[in-house]
Amino acid sequence: MGETGYVLIESFYLNKVIISSDSKNGPREMSLENDIGYFFKTNNSEDFKNKLIESEKNDNYEKIVRAKYFSREFSTFNHYSKIKKLFK
């Protein structure tokens, strides 16, 4: 996971909904199935504006709850547990 991924995980921990470009890698991979953010077409300022307005109008509670749950997969404890299993 690159730096972009870390920023997203931090936003999930802080109960923030993500608004990201629809790039082929990174944010879209993390959020497509989980419905935890808004995606605008890359290099499309009008679509970005519309997604920003949409995010402000909507109650994002469900997206935030899903994001918080999803972020647990990337916790330090979870990483430690996975590494520990490798050495068993």
Q: What is the CATH number of the domain that holds 45?
A: 3.40.50.2000
Whether 48 has a pLDDT exceeding 90, the answer reads yes
In angstroms, rounded to a whole number, what is the distance separating the alpha carbons of residues 9 and 37?
12
For the chain, the domain total comes to 1
Contact between residue 14 and residue 1 where contact means Cβ atoms under 8 Å apart? no
6 vs 3: which has the higher pLDDT: 6
The pLDDT assigned to 5 comes to 66
Mean pLDDT of 32-43: 78
Q: What is the DSSP letter of 74?
A: G
State the pLDDT confidence band at 37, using cuts at 50, 70 and 90.
confident
Contact between residue 31 and residue 23 where contact means Cβ atoms under 8 Å apart? no
Q: Which residue range is the domain that position 28 belongs to?
A: 3-86
The pLDDT assigned to 30 comes to 65
Long-range CB contact pairs, 43-48, < 8 A, 24+: 48/19, 48/21
Give the predicted TM-score (pTM) of the model: 0.66
